[in-house]
Structure 1
Amino acid sequence: MTSNEVLATINACVIIPTYNNAKTLRRVLDGVRQYTSHIIVVNDGSTDDTASLLAHYSDLTIIHLPRNKGKGWALRIGFRAAGRQGFSYAITIDSDGQHFPEDIPRFVDEIERHGSALLIGDRNMNREGIPGKSSFGNRFSNFWFRFETGIALADTQSGFRLYPLNRIQGIRFYSTKFEFEVEVIVKAAWRCIPVRNIPVNVLYNPAERVSHFRPFRDFTRISILNTWLVLVTLLYIRPRAYFRSFTEKGFRRFFLEDLLHSDDSILKKALSVALGVLVGLSPIWGFQTITVLFLALVLRLNKLIAFAFSNISLPPLIPFIIYISLQIGALLSGQPAGSSLLFQWAEIGTYGTFIQQHLTEYVVGSFALATVSAVIFGLGAYLLLNIKDRQKV
């Protein structure tokens, strides 16, 4: 197989977004053309000699944007063009000369060996000569990517990537600048698209490299995006994953695998049960899931166990939980309890109005019920797990 047929085996093209990189663009284009003629260049409103330089490459797909709209927007334009041309994959490479086109076959080989995925070139940011701000930014990005997806990568900021076009085309994106490269890999991982690193070479030449990353403005954009992605992770993605895991396993398999046979210590599992019950019975309706996952993460407890037991407040049990909480709250507050509360409830007829009239009793009673129940469930789980552990011996 000749070098210019390499990408044909996986039906891939190369997308090169560029903005005022005329000094290095020719070298990048000539290097990529050694491997394919299916190249899409998106000139993102360059004001240097980029347009005149590209005029010499009539065999390539050249898209000129009238004004600079950002790298993310240029990539999205490139993806659409590649999709219209029927490509299954697109390799993106920066035009500043830091990437080596000679690494393109590595992406193809990885797909052929291990199947479809979103691949990110690992530049080994710990090597000598890498700018400190680039290394720090990469570590920062890696941390939040792992938090948002559970996937540990060594490099999440490299622009040398391979995208499975058919699998990302249905994802809605909002960002248009550098932060797009964060949004796309996080949302791809949420869609269960494998995201992996492969090793690539990198060249940092201060004399010719032109970076358009604006530290304050772009770092702020990335931070805002990560804040939003973290909220979505805690409010939707993690609960969805735990709910799917729990429902797919069923209670019996969950009990056997996660509660009895997980690698966590007995104390950790018992504390996870207690945390789930405590949050599940607390008067924070609508925020129980995000609260239990956040606390389980901070306290390093078993998130699946805590999440499962936080669902103790099932809809059929809610009237009983509210009533018991009111009874306990009335007792602790020195207010009349017993059957009088039940009669008042029956007369008013709705939970909301009744709770508003007895809010103090309800809040006090809920926290008391949650605390006592958490202790009981936690101790019960600890004793049962100890008994089970001794039976193994």
Structure 2
Amino acid sequence: MFKPCIVVPVYNHEHAIGAVLAGLLRHDVPCLLVDDGSNAACAAVLDALAREHAERVVLVRLPHNQGKGAAVLAGFRRAAELGHTHVLQIDADGQHETADVPKFLAQSAAHPDAIIAGHPIYDESVPKARLYGRYATHIWVWINTLSFDIKDSMCGFRVYPVAPVNALAARHAIGVRMNFDTDILVRLFWDGLQVINLPTRVSYPSDGVSHFRVWRDNVLISWMHTVLFFGMLPRIPRLLARKWQTK
């Protein structure tokens, strides 16, 4: 059975979320909006959207801001309660191409045990510092997986099978802020999940709001890479065996 839903973590994106949700609802897939402790203006917009689309939209509300990863994982828990087998994760700021939802879900339906990970194709709106800065993470991910299977670990547009994510989150703490997307992808790869990379256009962002905090998030990301590196070391034999098995 393949029963997907869409999870959108939302934090103070009241100007963009309406257009993002409209784009998503065109694909007739249930949507879970996770309010990560947004301000009153955004909370009111989310309440209105949930009322307007009550049959297709579920609103999950966290009592205070906990970070993107915490919001996504709350969405996964609710998705499991609702009987969904797969979650398509997409950001709330409008940077992702909602028209690509069907091709992501088609790949997931064809490969239900795999992660379908967005591989960004950027337009001219991408900040050059962030574009070039991603390469440091790419290199560390290639080291920490001993492979080039993950082309981009930071894109927030992807499809996961629900059960492996909730099982991982139950046994291991995962980064809950801007370190989430990379941390969970590497750990699921360690757990043996295949990663299928799917090109998708990305722009930055429709409402001009970014929650990336340079000092805090770069420290968190650097620490994450350090922890993953030392976690990779005892896994070297298994990772190498997997590499040879796929040749």
Partner of 1:139: 135
Shift of 1:37: 4.7
Distance in structure 2 (CA, Å) of the matches to 1:204 and 1:222: 20
Distance in structure 2 (CA, Å) of the matches to 1:115 and 1:64: 28
Question: What is the 5 A alignment of 1:266-277?
Answer: none
Distance in structure 2 (CA, Å) of the matches to 1:213 and 1:137: 13
Partner of 2:4: 12
Q: Is the 8 A contact 2:190 2:239 kept in 1?
A: no
Partner of 1:233: 232
5+ long unaligned stretches in structure 1: 1-8, 250-393
Aligned residue type for 1:215: V
Partner of 2:145: 149
Partner of 1:200: 200
Q: Is the 8 A contact 1:124 1:154 kept in 2?
A: no
Shift of 1:83: 0.9
Question: Between Structure 1 and Structure 2, which shows a larger proportion of strand residues?
Answer: 2
Partner of 1:42: 34
Q: Is the 8 A contact 2:4 2:29 kept in 1?
A: no
Distance in structure 2 (CA, Å) of the matches to 1:101 and 1:76: 21
Question: Between Structure 1 and Structure 2, which shows a larger proportion of helix residues?
Answer: 1
SS of 2:167's partner is coil
Aligned residue type for 1:122: H
SS of 2:16's partner is helix
Shift of 1:241: 4.1
Instruction: Indicate the percent of aligned positions where both proteins have the same amino acid.
Output: 30
Distance in structure 2 (CA, Å) of the matches to 1:203 and 1:240: 37
5+ long unaligned stretches in structure 2: none
Distance in structure 2 (CA, Å) of the matches to 1:99 and 1:137: 19
Distance in structure 2 (CA, Å) of the matches to 1:224 and 1:12: 33
Partner of 1:161: 158
Tell me the alpha carbon deviations over residues 185-231 of structure 1, each in whole angstroms, 9 at most, x when there is no partner: 011000110112101122224x7220000011101101001101101
Partner of 1:21: 13
Distance in structure 1 (CA, Å) of the matches to 2:222 and 2:11: 23
Distance in structure 2 (CA, Å) of the matches to 1:44 and 1:96: 14
Aligned residue type for 2:235: I
Question: What is the 5 A alignment of 1:215-226?
Answer: 215-226=214-225
Distance in structure 2 (CA, Å) of the matches to 1:154 and 1:21: 28
Partner of 1:130: 126
Shift of 1:240: 4.1
Shift of 1:103: 0.6
Match 1:64 to one of 57, 61, 71: 61
More deviation, 16-25/105-114: 105-114
Shift of 1:65: 1.4
SS of 1:77's partner is helix
Question: What is the 5 A alignment of 1:226-375?
Answer: 226-234=225-233, 236-241=234-239
CA RMSD of aligned residues (A): 2.1
Distance in structure 1 (CA, Å) of the matches to 2:89 and 2:235: 28
Tell me the alpha carbon deviations over residues 267-286 of structure 1, each in whole angstroms, 9 at most, x when there is no partner: xxxxxxxxxxxxxxxxxxxx
Distance in structure 1 (CA, Å) of the matches to 2:29 and 2:199: 24
Tell me the alpha carbon deviations over residues 52-87 of structure 1, each in whole angstroms, 9 at most, x when there is no partner: 112222212111212111111101111100011111
Shift of 1:38: 1.2
Match 2:80 to one of 76, 79, 83: 83
Distance in structure 2 (CA, Å) of the matches to 1:202 and 1:72: 20
Shift of 1:115: 4.4
SS of 1:73's partner is helix
Q: Is the 8 A contact 2:11 2:38 kept in 1?
A: yes
Shift of 1:16: 0.5
More deviation, 66-75/128-137: 128-137
Match 1:106 to one of 96, 103, 108: 103
Tell me the alpha carbon deviations over residues 279-305 of structure 1, each in whole angstroms, 9 at most, x when there is no partner: xxxxxxxxxxxxxxxxxxxxxxxxxxx
Q: Is the 8 A contact 1:44 1:71 kept in 2?
A: yes
Partner of 1:344: none
Q: Structure 2 length as normaliser, TM-score?
A: 0.88
For CA contacts below 8 A with separation 6 or more, give which structure has more relative contact order. Answer: 2
